[in-house]
Amino acid sequence: MTKKTLTQVIGYEPSATMKKMILADVQATGKSLEECASAYALPVIVLPTDDGMITENGQTYTVEQFKERFPFRKIVIIKESDL
C-alpha cells in the first residue's frame, strides 16, 4: 500500500508514529494493512443523491456497492430528512 493509498484509507496524512502503530497492528494480528489502518480512519461522510448514489474519490456507488468495495471503511450517511 502506498503512502497516498494509506492517506486515502484513513482520511488524513499519517505521522511516522501512526504508521508504526498500523504496521505493529498488522504484525500482531495478521490482518491486512487496509483493515488495520481503517481502525484509525475518519469516517466517510456522504449525502446520497435522490436516487441513492454517493460519490467518493470521483467514483459513484450505491451505499451497498461502497460497503462492498471498501469493507473496512466507516461510512456516515446523512439524509435530507436528517438536516
Q: What is the pLDDT of residue 34?
A: 87
Asked if residue 37 and residue 1 are part of one domain, the reply reads yes
Closest residue by Cα to residue 40 from 66, 63, 73: 73
Same domain, 76 and 48: yes
DSSP symbols for 41-61: PPPEEE---TTSEEEETTEEE
What are 62's strand-pairing partners? 53
**2 pLDDT tier (thresholds 50, 70, 90):** low
Q: Which pTM was predicted?
A: 0.68
Which residues make Cβ contacts (< 8 Å) with residue 81, sequence separation at least 6?
none
- Which domain range does residue 47 map to? 43-83
SS3 2: coil
- Same-domain pairing of 13 and 37: yes
Res 83: pLDDT? 63
How many domains would you assign to the chain? 2
